[in-house]
Amino acid sequence: MENEILTHLNQPQQLEKLYRQNKSAFKKAFSALYPELSDNSLAQFWHERLHYETDEIYWGTRRDLQFVIIAALVAGILAKIPAIFSLDEEFFYPRNIGFIVFPLLTTYFALKSHLEIRKTALIIGVTVISLIYINFLPNVKNSDTLILSCIHLILLLWAMLGFAYVGNQPGNLQKRLSFLRYNGDLLVMCALLLISGGILTGITINLFAIIGYKIEEIYFQYVVIMGLAALPIVGTYITQTNPQLVNKISPVIARLFSPLVLITLVGYLVAIITSGKDPYNDREFLIIFNALLVGVMAIILFSVAESAKNSQRQTEIIILFLLSVVTVIVNGIALSAILFRISEWGITPNRAAVMGSNILILINLLLVAIKLWQVIIRKKDVSEVGKSIAFFLPVYACWAIIVTFIFPVIFGFK
């Protein structure tokens, strides 16, 4: 990229093409070159353009703001469907909680990226089929396949959101990484909004209590539930219109938590040995062990996505490598425990789902660890690590489809 920028330095149209092809790589390469080009007027323009930041809050266009307000209201109404139509909440929410927010977010990004008609039709088709399928699954009490379908359906809807986010460039690995960063930024923004909403809730309830009104029940039933449903939509809109609000917080969180998680994970493995607990014969412990694995995997993916965006110090890359290696060890223990339980007590929907997930995560972690090792030893570009993650994302989507739609049939809706 640096050579191309130098070649076309005095050709504004070519520079614009390079920038639009890969914005993050262009910014990284240009920033590295700028000290040598600071006397060039066109280079000065690009430097200001790439690094311009404002403290002002931009609320977007009127059309975008109208869409967000309507979408937030729709999400709130969808969240109250059981109360409106007197439906069983235990039936409705596990099956449909993903449909309250994800289709609206998907619509937002589909409109924003001017998604092609055939891609839009694919998203609509998958969403409608999923909605019908999950709600017509037999309502078997304590059904493992039903629980697995509900959980993995959320992952599938998340994948549809990612498909809309990357727009008409589904093969663009940088856009996929950008989608991961968006998820991290959204979590940060939602946490801030949630804290603000909690403070407002406390103030409101106590103010009314002072004058003799007990509004807790009605406030939580309507304001809180509808607010929680609208939270991801509002958070998404803020992060997309004002990226400067969180784009400095997310990297700090990634850099702060990576070494802390590494220390915690190593200490936890040592504690397992001394405690006498093992995931081979303790089912509850194995569940917690796998939840830990998924959480650490998410931190690694987010940290690597941030690393691919920004130039990282060698120490940070080494920490990520060590974290990925330790997580591979944790994954190996969890996978061996699942295989042990299958050999001893046979296959079940839960064991099959966990085994498949662990295998996919193990492969992904190994790819990440190998790429990080190559960055450390061979001084390769850290963006290659991000590409190995972005390439693997559709695999998780395929696995979500299998567990959601095929597992109930294979295991007889047990």
Whole-number pLDDT of residue 296: 80
Retrieve residue 25's tokens: 């790589």
Retrieve residue 158's tokens: 């998340």
Rg (CA), the chain: 24
Q: Which has the closest alpha carbon to 390: 160, 109, 179?
A: 179
Amino acid identity at 388: S
Amino acid identity at 232: P
Domain count, the chain: 3
Clarify whether residues 106 and 124 are in a common domain.
Answer: yes
Clarify whether residues 349 and 398 are in a common domain.
Answer: yes
Retrieve residue 192's tokens: 């801030």
pLDDT in tens, the chain (414 residues): 778 888 888 788 888 888 877 776 787 778 778 777 877 878 888 877 776 665 566 677 788 889 999 999 999 999 999 999 999 999 999 999 999 999 999 999 999 888 999 999 999 999 999 999 999 998 887 889 999 999 999 999 999 999 999 988 878 888 888 898 898 889 889 999 999 999 999 999 999 999 999 999 899 988 999 999 999 999 999 988 887 777 777 777 777 878 888 898 888 888 877 877 777 777 777 777 787 788 887 787 777 776 666 555 678 888 888 988 988 888 888 889 889 989 988 999 999 999 999 999 889 889 888 988 988 887 777 777 777 888 888 999 999 999 999 999 998 887
Consecutive H or E run containing 120: helix 117-136
| 385 close to 371: Cβ distance less than 8 angstroms | yes
The parent domain of residue 223 ranges over: 62-244
Domain assignment of residue 177, yes or no = yes
Domain assignment of residue 306, yes or no = yes
Retrieve residue 408's tokens: 């109930």
Clarify whether residues 199 and 291 are in a common domain.
Answer: no
What is this structure's pTM? 0.84
Domain assignment of residue 57, yes or no = no
CA-CA-CA-CA torsion sign (228, 230, 236, 237): negative
| 181 close to 246: Cβ distance less than 8 angstroms | no
| 317 close to 372: Cβ distance less than 8 angstroms | yes
Clarify whether residues 330 and 216 are in a common domain.
Answer: no
Q: Which has the closest alpha carbon to 234: 63, 55, 67, 53?
A: 67
Clarify whether residues 104 and 237 are in a common domain.
Answer: yes
